[in-house]
Amino acid sequence: MPPKSEKVTLLQGSLDLLILRCLAAGPLHGYAIAKHLRLASDEFLQVEEGSLYPALHRLEGRGWIAARWGASEANRRAKYYSLTSAGKKQLEVEITAWEKMSQAIARVLNFRPAES
Amino acid sequence: MPALIRSWLPFWHSAAVPCDDVAPQIDEELMFHFRALVEENLNRGLPSDDAWADAQRRFGSLDHYANQTWRVDMAHQLTVQRIVIFGLLALTLLCGWLWLQVHSLNGQNSQLLELVQNAAAQEKPATEMTPYPIEISPDEIREFSKISINFGKLQLNGNDISVVPISCKLGVTGLVLIGDGKFHYAPTADQMFDGQFRTILLRFNPQDLDALLKLEEGKKVTDKGTYEMAKQLLGSVFRHSYHSGMDALIPPQGALSAALNSKQHGDLLVSFGPKEAVVYSFTDRKQLYEQK
């Protein structure tokens, strides 16, 4: 688990990708999404709630996720988000774009100018 | 209900239904999260005060996040409503424009349609008239230093006029006159149409040719330029009368149709027969005279 002093700034647009990926496995409410991201990244990614909920509502507005109220594990009213068919397509697009970006960055980092 | 329609229902619902319950729902959603954080801390063994304080520290300002989330929702709602309103407005304007176009066309065409219908009622049905292919030739052009045509109540006069005969199987059924001249048509004592012409297409029964113009009195020439001009003219005005496509219908004896271009009247059609007559302006798209 990384030290608490480390502060990770998510790359712009990557939160959308992470949310869509979380929901690919099934419907989750906001708290569960944040917890999943934390656990799946081995506590490295700590998503701020201030970023998470505007992102969820933005994705819902775009039609990539859908929301419905339901009962949580503790039988409380919670808002569950699920991936739509448009969201599934968008997830594939985002993953492809992310992989290309990371490969390009890796090439730049590994670049060694030719020795004369 | 088809899946496609169901998927669009939230879109239209959010456009149509006021969104008064958005803010309370956001509050409820965020409160659920905050409460879950507190429970998580309690499950980790923290005392209740510490569990609450830690949740507050991690969660941050509930009001601030609620406001941010509400803004995202409102922006989406307004966008959807604007799209719907704009779409309805554009549709209304398009329908209005289409109605005006149709209404305007109906007004313009009704006069011409009535004229054509009246002419058709007077003439023999097209099925009783045989169409004849026509031909003109650059080698059959006649030059007249002075021309004078007086047929029915139509008078044509001019100097240095080129005449291109329009021939068919039955004989010469038309003439194209090219050159400056004057025309005069007086169907009644108090109704007159005068002016200068630059070109005229005359259509008549072949048996009326000699009464109109004795072609042999003109000088026969070969003139490809005049031939091309006549061809162009036929392409645009031949269909004004006594035609079946680009084939000629033969007018009855004593009938004449003159499609002319004049300085004074623009594109004019003068057509008369033994019992009827009409003068129509194609430029102004209106009938100037009619006799039934």
Secondary structure (DSSP) of B51-92: HHHHHHHHH--HHHHHHHHHHHHHHHHHHHHHHHHHHHHHHH
User: Which residues on A lie below 8 Å from B39 (Cβ)?
Assistant: 74
A74 touches chain B (CB under 8 A): yes
Residue B279 predicted with pLDDT over 50: yes
From CA B27, how far away is CA B35, in angstroms rounded? Answer: 12
| Residue B151: closest CA among B185, B179, B117 | B185
Which element (helix H / strand E) includes B268? strand B266-272
> Distance between CA B156 and CA B178 in Å, rounded?
12
Most confident of A49-63, B76-90, B122-136: A49-63
pLDDT of residue A41: 86
Mutation site, A1, A31, A46, interface B, largest B CB count within 10 A: A31
Judging contacts by C-beta atoms under 8 Å, the chain B residues touching residue A58 are 72, 76
The full length of chain B comes to: 292
CB contact under 8 A, A54 and B59: no
Tokens 């006159």 belong to residue: B177
CA gap B175, B266 in Å, rounded:
20
- Residue A97's nearest CA partner among A7, A38, A20 is A20
Q: Of residues B2 and B291, which shows the higher confidence score?
A: B291
Which residues, listed in sequence order, are joined to residue B171 by a DSSP beta bridge? B168
Residues of B in contact with A81 (CB under 8 A): none
Please name which of B73, B4, B69 lies closest in space to residue A86, comparing C-alpha atoms. Answer: B4
- ipTM of this predicted complex? 0.80
Whether residue B239 has pLDDT greater than 90: no
Cα gap A77→B25, rounded to integer Å = 11
A113 to chain B, minimum CA–CA distance in Å?
46
**pLDDT value, residue B250:** 93
On the question of pLDDT at B15 being above 50, the answer is no
| Residues of B in Cβ contact (< 8 Å) with A87 | none
Q: Dump pLDDT digits (tens) for B19-78.
A: 445 666 777 788 788 878 888 888 888 887 788 788 877 776 666 666 667 777 777 777
With beta carbons under 8 A apart, name residues in chain B contacting A74: 39
Closest CA to B253 of B274, B269, B270: B274
CB contact under 8 Å between B68 and A54, yes or no, is yes
% helix / strand / coil in chain A, to the nearest 5?
55, 15, 35
**pLDDT by residue (tens digit) across A24-44?**
999 999 999 999 988 888 888
Tens-place pLDDT, residues B126-177: 444 789 999 999 999 999 999 999 999 999 999 889 999 999 999 999 999 9
Q: Which residues of B touch A61 (CB under 8 A)?
A: 72-73, 75-76
Pairwise CA distance, residues B200 & B41, whole Å = 102
Q: Do A61 and B35 touch (CB under 8 A)?
A: no
Instruction: Please give the pLDDT value at position A9.
Output: 53
pLDDT at B187 over 80: yes
Write down the pLDDT at residue B114. Answer: 59
- Which one has a higher pLDDT value, B144 or A1? B144
pLDDT at B229 over 70: yes
Distance CA B129, CA B105 (A): 31
Share of chain B above pLDDT 90, in %: 29
Q: How far is A96 from chain B (nearest CA, A)?
A: 26
Among A57, A73, A88, which would you mutate to test the B interface (most chain B Cβ atoms within 10 Å of its Cβ)?
Answer: A57
**Which of A61-65, A72-76, B94-98 is most confident?**
A61-65
B41, amino acid identity: N
Q: Which residues 35-94 of B are in CB contact (within 8 Å) with A?
A: 35-37, 39-40, 58-61, 64-65, 68-69, 71-73, 75-76
Give the CA dihedral B54, B60, B65, B66, nearest 10 degrees: 50
Report whether B193 contacts B218 (CB < 8 A).
no
pLDDT of residue B237: 85
Pick from A53, A72, A76: which is nearest to B69 by CB?
A53
Q: How far is CA B151 from the centre of its chain?
A: 37
**Residue numbers in A near B41 (CB within 8 A):** none
Q: Which residue has the higher pLDDT, B4 or A35?
A: A35
Measured between beta carbons, the chain A residues lying within 8 angstroms of B19 are: none
**Is the Cβ of B24 closer than 8 Å to some Cβ of chain A?**
no
Phi and psi torsions of B232, nearest 5°: -65, -45
Question: CA of A5 to nearest chain B CA: how many angstroms apart?
Answer: 14
Whole-number pLDDT of residue A10: 56
* Shortest CA distance from A86: residue in chain B: B7
The single-letter DSSP state of residue B157 is E
- State whether residue B7 sits within 8 Å of chain A by CB: yes
Smallest Cβ distance to B69: which of A57, A77, A78? A57
The helix (run of H) or strand (run of E) holding residue A104 is helix A85-110
> What does the pLDDT read at residue A111?
83
Identify the bridge partners of residue B161 per DSSP, sorted by sequence position: B144
Q: Which two tokens stand for residue A61?
A: 């507005």
Reply yes or no on whether the pLDDT at B119 is more than 60: no
Of the two residues B154 and B13, the one the predictor is more confident about is B154
Task: Look up tokens 């004057």; give the residue.
Answer: B182
